[in-house]
Amino acid sequence: MAKLGRLRKETVKRALLLMAVVTLCFLIFAGRVFYISTGKEVNGQDLQALAESRWTTTQTLPGERGTIYTREGQQLAKEVQAYTAFAILDEDYDGHVEDPKVTAEKLAPYIDMEESRLAELLQRDQFQVELGPGSKYLTLSQKQEIEALELPGIYFRTEKKRYYPKQVFASHVLGYTARDMSEAVMGLEASLDKRLSAKDGSLTYQRNVKGIPLLNKEEILREPKNGEDVYLTIDTNIQIALEQAMTAVDEEYKPQKMTAIVANAETGEILAMGNRPSFNPNDYSSITNYTNYAVSDRFEPGSTMKMFTLAAAIDAGVYNEHETYESGTYTIGDSTIGDHNNSRGWGTISFDEGLVRSSNVAFAKLALEKLKPERFYEYLQAFGFREKTGIDLPNEADSLVAHSSKLDAAVTAFGQGTAVTPIQMVQAATAIANDGKMMKPYIIDKMYDLNENKQTYEAVPEAAGEPIKKETAVKVREKLEQVVTGEHGTGHPYQIEGINVAGKTGTAQISNPNGKGYLSGYNQNIFSFLGMAPAEDPKVIVYVAVDRPQLPGHETGSAPVSKIFNPVMKQSLSYMNLSTGDAKTEKVYEEDGIQLDSFENKHVKKAVKSVKELGLKPVVIGDGSTITEQYPLAGSSLIIGEKVFLLTSGKLQMPDMAGWSLRDAKRFSVLVGLQLHHLGSGYVTEQSIDPGAVLQENDYLTVELKDPDQIRKEQEETKKEEDSHEEKKERNNEPHE
């Protein structure tokens, strides 16, 4: 019995111990459950977040990098969709590469890869393989060409890339980004990167175990933000003309480098800017020149600097055009400077003749004896040669003005010893072109934020100073015109028929990179021209510099420069509707023609009747009943049959311009506020705005013109084709045996 009692007591103890252990475990488990349920965290992991991640997903909504446009709205840099090809090799996958050798043979030419290399890739023991650099960032047409090969196992994924539709067009201005836009490297792409860059958005939503979005569940949308769009002052037509001329000169003369700038003389807007060597931003692996010479390169300008020494002397009242001096050489202390014809000079000549012959001695004397060095440097400061222009392009270079001795002043006066940038030269020239008011150059016209649907920036022409008086500028232009047209003028190659050009030539020496002094020998110079037109009231400034062209023995440095300057200046004035041919026509009409009455505030029917009675052709614009404006203005002289444009207060619609002259198109555009561009000459045959379309102010209108002979020939050819077609129809309708 005692033994049984002890056994029972032992059993009870064990039961109690087991119950205690179980109770303890339960309490620990319950405590843990309570802890987890309240804290919702295990080992630092948020259980709620972990659970939600199983049924919640976030999708990235990519933003789009801003587009860069010309002034007319043509795209220069934009984000586009691209494609990258890859191959599936796994035989267990339905749709793998079936025949690596045949696939390699057909595909290799399309992705710029050797056939043997591609065949080796396609035979690897992998699920899939990338197909090298040539298979990345393909265009839609390239993708379609590969798809047309119908190669099993070749697939594409979609990506974004930066694309430059106009290739080398203003490439140093634009710069470039990496293809995937991960990095902006140079030009406006780099300097405006923050404003051009996009910010990705996201969409967060709940889904079931199969990944299907759940209904009636709250979505969290964070909208993507596109980059700002940028509009430049670059004119498409003028830039194209510049690129074409520079390419032709580059191929013919093979210079070390070139730069050119076209600017609006009245506003400082840069209408075109180019360099050689240039590059295609779509293929930045081949770039050899990263420098925009127009703003980031400084060099001794040569005799183009004489333009500003002359302006300073005239403005200071110390220039006597008839005063004579002995040309050839000029001694300054221990140094002697000479004229460019091996210091022979031209004997005793006037300062005016010294200008047209580009005498170094004349300008050294003006700086040292007439102006005195201190005053001369004050004018250089006023012309902006001691500081950057502040143009809205990156990496603008400083000038280096020599200013330690009288000799420095003397040689700076004719363009040696001091180094400046091309954009400084253009800015200074605006003072002469613009009646004394110097305009700060700029190339960004406006910026637009599509997210907010508002304009975030708009450029306003800004004066950079008034270094000379109006009457000085007028006189300087008259004298610079003589450089181009005068008997002994060095600027003869820059004469353009029908256009009065004022400007100054330059032949600059190049500092020897291996030591003191300058490079010597034939073709070892920078040849340049800084000109403006029309000379009496300049609207356009063109600067061209060509460094060490390979000249044939019978040509001078002005040959390659003029082959850029002349066509670009001519095209610029034409595109800006400033052709001097029209001005001559205006003069003829003013001298002998029909005097035009005022029709403003008159009823349309009465105005139309009056115009017809004068032998003129009325063109009513708008559907209003009263004339609000007219063009030409009252008092203008016209000839019989000319058009008179009558604007009413009603809705403006585009007329049919077929057969109109360029003069008519210009008058119409001025009256209704259109931006006119024209191609060809003669009479309008095509127009970019359809007849009947509602017009908005500042719309762009492009017209194509053809001369009467061309139109007649085309009509005759069309008639021949129609007659031939009719003959065939008649023959086909004849009965057959």
Cβ partners under 8 Å of residue 439, min gap 6: 265, 266, 267, 268, 427, 430, 461, 462, 463, 464
Of 458, 480, 511, the one marking the end of a domain is: 511
Judgement on whether residues 312 and 196 belong to the same structural domain of the protein: no
| Residue 519: CA count within 13 A, CB half-sphere | 17
Cis peptide before 534 (omega within 30 of 0): yes
Are the C-beta atoms of residues 439 and 268 closer than 8 Å to each other?
A: yes
pLDDT of 584: 35
- Sign of the CA dihedral 581, 583, 587, 592? positive
Which tokens in the block code for residue 676? 């006119």
User: If you average pLDDT over residues 707-725, what whole number do you get?
Assistant: 62
Residue 148 lies in a domain: yes
CA dist list (Å): 369 to 92, 408, 537: 93, 14, 32
Q: Where residue 590 falls among pLDDT bands split at 50, 70, 90?
A: very low
pLDDT of 691: 86
85-109 per-position pLDDT tens digit: 999 988 888 888 888 898 888 998 8
Domain that holds residue 134: 61-230
User: If you average pLDDT over residues 674-681, what whole number do you get?
Assistant: 75
Domain containing residue 592: CATH number: 3.30.10.20
Residue 535 lies in a domain: no
From 64, 444, 4, 498, select the one nearest 234 (Cα to Cα): 444
326-355 per-position pLDDT tens digit: 999 999 999 999 999 999 999 999 999 999
Are the C-beta atoms of residues 494 and 529 closer than 8 Å to each other?
A: yes
User: What's the helix, strand, coil split of the chain in %, to 5?
Assistant: 35, 25, 40
- Choose between 594 and 548: higher pLDDT: 548
pLDDT of 589: 32
pLDDT of 171: 95
User: If you average pLDDT over residues 200-211, what whole number do you get?
Assistant: 66
pLDDT of 202: 73
- Choose between 689 and 12: higher pLDDT: 689
Q: Where residue 474 falls among pLDDT bands split at 50, 70, 90?
A: very high
pLDDT of 704: 83
Burial of 712 (0-12, 13-18, 19+ CB in 10 A): exposed
Angle ∠(181,183,188) on CA atoms, nearest 5: 90
Judgement on whether residues 421 and 358 belong to the same structural domain of the protein: yes
Judgement on whether residues 302 and 439 belong to the same structural domain of the protein: yes
Judgement on whether residues 226 and 288 belong to the same structural domain of the protein: no
Q: Where residue 677 falls among pLDDT bands split at 50, 70, 90?
A: confident
Q: Where residue 726 falls among pLDDT bands split at 50, 70, 90?
A: low
Judgement on whether residues 280 and 224 belong to the same structural domain of the protein: no
Are the C-beta atoms of residues 564 and 246 closer than 8 Å to each other?
A: yes
Cβ partners under 8 Å of residue 8, min gap 6: none
Cα 262 to Cα 281: distance, rounded to the nearest angstrom? 22
What three-state secondary structure class fits 103? helix
pLDDT of 1: 55
The amino acid sitting at 223 is: E
Which tokens in the block code for residue 594? 């029909």
Q: Where residue 194 falls among pLDDT bands split at 50, 70, 90?
A: very high
Q: What are the residues facing 684 on neighbouring strands?
A: 705
Judgement on whether residues 209 and 78 belong to the same structural domain of the protein: yes
Angle ∠(111,117,118) on CA atoms, nearest 5: 50
CB count in 10 Å sphere of residue 564: 26
CA dist list (Å): 546 to 320, 418, 438, 561: 33, 18, 25, 6
CA 87 to chain centre: 40
Look at residue 317 and tell me whether its pLDDT is greater than 70. yes
Which tokens in the block code for residue 261? 């700038």
Residue 182 lies in a domain: yes
Q: Where residue 206 falls among pLDDT bands split at 50, 70, 90?
A: low
120-132 per-position pLDDT tens digit: 888 888 888 898 8
Judgement on whether residues 618 and 679 belong to the same structural domain of the protein: yes
Q: Where residue 577 falls among pLDDT bands split at 50, 70, 90?
A: low
| Residue 186: CA count within 13 A, CB half-sphere | 16
591-630 per-position pLDDT tens digit: 345 778 888 888 888 888 888 888 788 899 888 888 888 8
Rounded to 5 degrees, what are φ and ψ at 72?
Answer: -85, -5
Are the C-beta atoms of residues 539 and 576 closer than 8 Å to each other?
A: yes
Strands (E), 277-320: none
Judgement on whether residues 226 and 282 belong to the same structural domain of the protein: no
Q: Which residue has the tokens 């205690």?
A: 20
From 546, 541, 558, 545, select the one nearest 501 (Cα to Cα): 541
510-521 per-position pLDDT tens digit: 887 776 777 777
Cα 271 to Cα 264: distance, rounded to the nearest angstrom? 7
User: If you average pLDDT over residues 490-506, what whole number do you get?
Assistant: 93
- Choose between 42 and 167: higher pLDDT: 167
pLDDT of 464: 96
Residue 7 lies in a domain: no
Angle ∠(465,466,471) on CA atoms, nearest 5: 165
Residue 32 lies in a domain: no
Cα 190 to Cα 175: distance, rounded to the nearest angstrom? 7
Give the percent of the chain with pLDDT over 70. 83
Are the C-beta atoms of residues 616 and 641 closer than 8 Å to each other?
A: yes
Look at residue 582 and tell me whether its pLDDT is greater than 50. no
Give the percent of the chain with pLDDT over 90. 45
Q: Where residue 429 falls among pLDDT bands split at 50, 70, 90?
A: very high
pLDDT of 126: 87
pLDDT of 6: 66
**Residues that are catalytic:** 303
pLDDT of 705: 78
What three-state secondary structure class fits 38? helix
Q: Where residue 581 falls among pLDDT bands split at 50, 70, 90?
A: very low
The amino acid sitting at 518 is: Y
From 333, 360, 328, select the one nearest 346 (Cα to Cα): 328
Angle ∠(438,440,446) on CA atoms, nearest 5: 140
Judgement on whether residues 169 and 309 belong to the same structural domain of the protein: no
Are the C-beta atoms of residues 431 and 437 closer than 8 Å to each other?
A: yes
Judgement on whether residues 303 and 378 belong to the same structural domain of the protein: yes
pLDDT of 550: 92
Cβ partners under 8 Å of residue 613, min gap 6: none
pLDDT of 59: 67
The per-residue b/e assignment along 234-247, b for 16 or more CB within 10 angstroms, e otherwise, is bbbbbbbbbbebbe
Residue 592 lies in a domain: yes
Cβ partners under 8 Å of residue 655, min gap 6: 619, 621, 668, 691
Look at residue 209 and tell me whether its pLDDT is greater than 60. no
Domain containing residue 96: CATH number: 3.90.1310.10
Q: What are the residues facing 417 on neighbouring strands?
A: none
Q: What are the residues facing 84 on neighbouring strands?
A: 157
Are the C-beta atoms of residues 62 and 224 closer than 8 Å to each other?
A: yes
Cα 206 to Cα 291: distance, rounded to the nearest angstrom? 52
Q: How many domains does the chain have?
A: 3
The per-residue pLDDT of the chain, averaged, comes to 85
275-290 per-position pLDDT tens digit: 999 999 988 888 999 9
User: If you average pLDDT over residues 58-68, what whole number do you get?
Assistant: 81
| E strand or H helix at 723 | helix 708-733
Angle ∠(309,312,313) on CA atoms, nearest 5: 90
Cα 698 to Cα 672: distance, rounded to the nearest angstrom? 9
Judgement on whether residues 100 and 204 belong to the same structural domain of the protein: yes
Q: At what angle do helices 470-485 and 306-315 cross, to 10 degrees?
A: 140
User: If you average pLDDT over residues 66-80, what whole number do you get?
Assistant: 90
Residue 539 lies in a domain: no
Residue 11 lies in a domain: no
Whether the model clears a pTM of 0.85, i.e. scores above it, the answer is no
- Specify the DSSP class assigned to residue 217: -
Which tokens in the block code for residue 144? 């379609």
From 359, 347, 343, 254, select the one nearest 310 (Cα to Cα): 359
DSSP character string of 348-407: EEEHHHHHHTT-HHHHHHIIIIII-HHHHHHHHHHTTTTS----SSS-PPPPB---SSHH
- Specify the DSSP class assigned to residue 515: S
Look at residue 580 and tell me whether its pLDDT is greater than 50. no
The amino acid sitting at 485 is: T
Radius of gyration of the chain (CA): 38
| E strand or H helix at 68 | strand 68-69
Cβ partners under 8 Å of residue 271, min gap 6: 233, 234, 235, 238, 239, 262, 263, 264, 540, 572
Look at residue 70 and tell me whether its pLDDT is greater than 70. yes
Q: Where residue 735 falls among pLDDT bands split at 50, 70, 90?
A: very low
Judgement on whether residues 399 and 503 belong to the same structural domain of the protein: yes
CA 504 to chain centre: 27
Cα 692 to Cα 710: distance, rounded to the nearest angstrom? 27
Q: Where residue 81 falls among pLDDT bands split at 50, 70, 90?
A: confident
